[in-house]
């Protein structure tokens, strides 16, 4: 099983390298657009210094790889170094056609292929852009700052530089490329089917549990809790807290079932980025 998993990870990283390479050489570079992160910095530096992009992408990522080695382990650092080196080789030696001169299509689909490449590489346990590593480390130190906020702040400075170096139009198209790539990364990592976590607090917890598991065929987790001061006037009264995860299409059905049992049930819904294991599909026969 370990060999199969390692082989699958390798295939994902290789696909990611070629997808990102196609996005860069087939779309962005002919139109002089950039993406965010280290890739964007590398393209800007290459444009100013006429240094080959393949060399810059590898060497500008080295400090981030060192940070990854210090904080995330040697295995992650080696996989990421090989992935970035692979991308550098593809950019240096593989020829891709210039797909379209249309600037809007270039910005959107260049971002799609780059985002798909980064997402596939992350799925395979590596990164093609060291910005992600830096953002995680800064977020951990600052504590109150989220990873996504750090990435956004870094890219604001990158795109301000892009507007100054490349011009307003190319800078704005580059922002569109980044947004397209970000959405594609989310799609690759989180999938098409978005899930919702539902937490239910009710005095009729057992009936609700039976309805969700037996009538709807979903798995649940049951917590034992106590009330604060609710509408029923009871303080520290025992409560069963039911938690389940469902697809967006199933949420209204589950909510109707819960409220038909206990109209005063307290229901909290939260978005779920990803899930592993558990009973996420309906049991057969339901």
86: its two tokens: 């692979």
Which residues partner with 198 through β-bridges? 244, 269
Beta bridge partners of residue 241, listed in sequence order = 201, 223
User: Whole-number mean pLDDT of the chain?
Assistant: 82
pLDDT at 196: 83
Q: For residue 118, give the nearest of 78, 178, 70 by alpha carbon.
A: 178
pLDDT at 24 over 90: yes
Considering Cα of 219, then 223, then 228, then 233, what sign does the dihedral take? positive
- pLDDT, position 231: 57
pLDDT computed for residue 191 by the predictor: 67
- What is residue 252's predicted lDDT score, i.e. its pLDDT? 82
Local structure of residue 235 (DSSP, 8 states): B
If one compares 230 and 93, the residue with the highest pLDDT of the two is 93
Which range is least confidently modeled, 32-41, 49-58, 152-161? Answer: 152-161
Q: Give the whole-angstrom CA distance, residue 188 versus residue 118.
A: 9
pLDDT tens sequence across 190-212: 665 567 888 998 888 888 888 88
The span from the CA of 258 to the CA of 152, in Å, is 40
Domain boundaries, the chain: 2-190, 195-272
Query: How far apart are the C-alpha atoms of 110 and 132, rounded to whole Å?
Result: 20
CATH class of the structural domain 195-272: alpha beta
Which pairing describes strands 221-226 and 266-272: parallel, antiparallel, or unpaired?
A: unpaired
Q: Which residues contact 36 (CB under 8 A, 6 or more apart)?
A: 131, 151, 154, 155, 158, 159, 178, 181, 182
Cross-strand pairs, 268: 199
Q: What is the DSSP string of 261-273?
A: H-TT-EEEEEEES
- Model pTM? 0.72
């Amino acid at each position: 099983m370990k060999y199969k998993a390692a082989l699958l990870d390798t295939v994902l990283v290789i696909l990611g390298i070629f997808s990102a390479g196609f996005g860069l050489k087939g779309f962005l570079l002919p139109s002089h657009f950039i993406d965010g992160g280290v890739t964007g910095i590398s393209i800007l530096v290459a444009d100013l210094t006429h240094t080959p992009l393949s060399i810059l992408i590898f060497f500008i990522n080295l400090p981030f790889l060192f940070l990854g080695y210090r904080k995330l382990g040697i295995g992650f650092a080696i996989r990421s170094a090989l992935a970035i080196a692979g991308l550098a080789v593809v950019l240096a030696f593989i020829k891709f056609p210039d797909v379209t001169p249309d600037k809007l299509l270039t910005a959107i689909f260049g971002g799609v292929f780059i985002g798909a490449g980064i997402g596939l590489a992350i799925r395979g346990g590596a990164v093609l852009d060291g910005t992600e590593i830096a953002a995680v480390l800064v977020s951990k130190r600052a504590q109150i700052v989220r990873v996504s906020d750090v990435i956004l702040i870094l890219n604001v400075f990158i795109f301000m530089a892009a507007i100054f170096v490349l011009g307003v139009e190319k800078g704005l198209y580059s922002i569109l490329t980044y947004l397209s790539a970000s959405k594609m990364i989310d799609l690759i990592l989180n999938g098409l089917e978005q899930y919702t976590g539902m937490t239910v607090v009710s005095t009729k917890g057992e009936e609700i549990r039976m309805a969700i598991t037996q009538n709807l065929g979903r798995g649940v987790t049951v917590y034992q809790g106590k009330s604060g001061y609710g509408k029923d006037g009871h303080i520290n009264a025992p409560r069963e807290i039911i938690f389940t995860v469902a697809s967006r299409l199933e949420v209204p059905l589950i909510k109707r079932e819960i409220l038909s049992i206990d109209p005063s049930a307290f229901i909290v819904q939260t978005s779920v980025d990803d899930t592993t294991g558990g009973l996420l599909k309906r049991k057969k026969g339901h």
